[in-house]
Amino acid sequence: MSSLFTRIVQGEIPAYKVAEDDNYLAFLDIFPVVKGHVLVIPKTEVDYLFDLDDDVFIGLQLFAKKVAAGLKKAIPCQKVGVMVLGLEVPHAHIHLVPMQSEADLLNFSNKKKFTPEEFTETAALIAQHISL
């Protein structure tokens, strides 16, 4: 059975996309810890990040770097934090979190709630600042 993220890639489940190319996808986390919390995934379904083929792994990191640069322009923050976390979706992914302090990245149990309109606006704002 396909992972939730593979189903997003295939268009079976909607997502608030911020960037996409042939191999990678970035979209808003629907259970964000802060506004602008983005997930970056390879389109190839592999459960564990370090099981990715070297070229896919490096490509994912470079794609995430571009997304992070746009994210920092769109969402005022000190830095964009990076975390590999999550066992509930068996698909390699990276969290990009706009940080004002380390607490923004370290407190994943404190999820924020946003309306669909807020997610749509945030995704569009970030997307317009990303250069692929």
Q: Which amino acids are annotated catalytic?
A: 93
In sequence order, the β-bridge partners of residue 26 are 19, 40
Per the CB < 8 A criterion, the answer to whether 35 and 114 are in contact is yes
SS3 26: strand
Within 10 A of 6 (CB to CB), how many other CB atoms are there? Answer: 18
- Cα 74 to Cα 129: distance, rounded to the nearest angstrom: 6
Give the angle 19-24-27 at the CA atoms, nearest 5°: 45
